[in-house]
Structure 1
Amino acid sequence: MSLLEIFAFLTSLAGVSLGVLGPRITWIFWNLGSLLYAALFFQSSYYASAALQFLFIAGGVWGWFGWGPKGAKPRKSTDRERIFLVTSLIVFSITLWPFLLYIGATSSAIESFGFVGSVIAQLLMVWQRFEAWPIWFIVDLAYTYQYFSGGLYLTAFLYLIFTGIAVWGWVRWRREAEKTIND
């Protein structure tokens, strides 16, 4: 466990926890944690996870402006959008997997699924869709296993915490989205 991993852990935990509550400031912590994890994942040969952090940073900038000063206003996706999201997750995960094998990524199957699932969940977060949280739940479980197996124990513990936070976000954002429909 390095100092880099400890700082990445703390800032990421703050960013994701704040994300459930929806204040705009979440994106500052999200971006700092992503920058620190990009360095850690690159050092550990989790190349897709390292690259993903830069997409998280771009999403964080977009989220900062997209959420506005009052924060997130969660809403639900349509059934058609959900089918498109699940189809995209499957197709792009299968497509990315051989490339990760080719470049020698540490955990190609989980990294492929995690990368694609995280991109979709990040977009849903920026778009303030409650469906981000069930995707985060599945992705975080997969990453918990990956990082534990790879010896990044603090990061594995963080992703286990993220799994619980995803349940919290799922419940809270769904409730908020239903309020929006009823208003």
Structure 2
Amino acid sequence: MDFLRWLFEAQIPVGGSALVLREVLGNIFGLLSALGGMRRKVWAWPIGIIGNLLLLTVFLGNVFGAAAPATLWGQAARQIMFIAVAVYGWYRWKQGQESSTQGRAIVPGWASNRVRIALIAAMVAGTAALTPLFDSLGSYPPVWADAWTFMGSLLATYGMAKGWTEFWLIWVAVDIVGVPLLFSAGYYASAVMYLFYGFFTLTGFFVWWRAEKRERPSGDAGPVAAALSAGALK
């Protein structure tokens, strides 16, 4: 209990203000998860879940008695979404690793044009639908930006679980909107980390692109490895 009390109350002095320790730790775990995702390691998923749990307590503001700058319902809700999708991705990648003769968790692939159109439509429609909901809950303005980052995070995480190389580009779209929102809301540690993510995701995109061309069996245009095709979730 003493450790939990310390964890929830600890802050890191920076200049004339302070950063919430849980926010810093949550983003460190998030970065480790992103590194594992770029290398296609199964451990990326459980590491990410730990970061999500920490950040959930941060973005809920004073619900947990923390001196957080503002309550961001979209940011908080997406941590719950991350956990749910991470469980799916964890299972899918572990299944792929066990089925693959070369021990690969996933082989990157491109989504079909139909899927790309569906992703764009879901991004726009989801943002429009969630904006009034988050607004009614009192989310920090501009509320559409909170809804945008939620939808983009959902689609990007799902795309990572499916092995679509485009998921990295969705993260770029999330960062473009999410970084200014976090800075304006006073979540400086998360904003700086997301700014770094913007460059990191571009690197991840090219890493997966090269891996797709190097590892995908000739004539296989599907989004995941042939080893996954028989047993993966649909």
Work out whether the TM-score is over 0.5.
yes
Q: Does the Cα contact within 8 Å between 1:20 and 1:165 map onto a contact in 2? A: no
Q: CA deviation at 1:178?
A: 2.7
CA distance in 1, matches of 2:30, 2:111: 26
Q: Which string of whole-angstrom CA distances, capped at 9 and with x for unpartnered residues, describes residues 94-140 of structure 1?
A: 11111111221013111111111111111101101111000001102
1:99 partner letter:
L
Structure 2 residue runs without a partner (length 5+): 1-18, 62-69, 98-103, 220-234
Q: Relative to total residues, which structure has the larger helix share, 1 or 2?
A: 1
**Contact kept? 1:66, 1:126, Cα under 8 Å:** yes
Q: Give the 5 Å matches for 1:115-126.
A: 115-126=150-161
Measured in 2, the distance between the counterparts of 1:9 and 1:124 equals 21
**Deviation readout 1:139-161 (Å, 9 max, x if unpaired):** 02211111111111111011011
Q: Structure 1: which 5+ runs fail to align?
A: none
- Higher relative CO (Cα under 8 Å, sequence separation at least 6) belongs to 1
Are 2:24 and 1:6 equivalent residues in the alignment? Answer: yes
Larger Rg: 2
TM-score by length of 2: 0.75
Displacement of 1:63 in angstroms is 1.1
Using the alignment, how far apart are the partners of 1:6 and 1:121 within structure 2? 22
Amino acid in structure 2 at the alignment position of 1:170: F
Q: Corresponding residue for 1:55?
A: 81
Q: 2: CA distance between counterparts of 1:106 and 1:137?
A: 22
% identical equivalent positions: 26
* 2:150 is aligned with 1:130: no
Output the CA distance in 2 between the equivalents of 1:19 and 1:141: 21
The 3 A distance-change label for structure 1 pair 181 and 149 is farther
Shift of 1:177: 2.3
* Residue number in structure 1 paired with 2:139: 105
| Residue 92 of structure 1, CA deviation | 1.3
Question: For the Cα contact (< 8 Å) 1:74–1:176, is it kept in 2?
Answer: yes
Q: Is the 8 A contact 1:27 1:64 kept in 2?
A: yes
Aligned to 1:72: 106
TM-score, scaled to structure 1 = 0.94
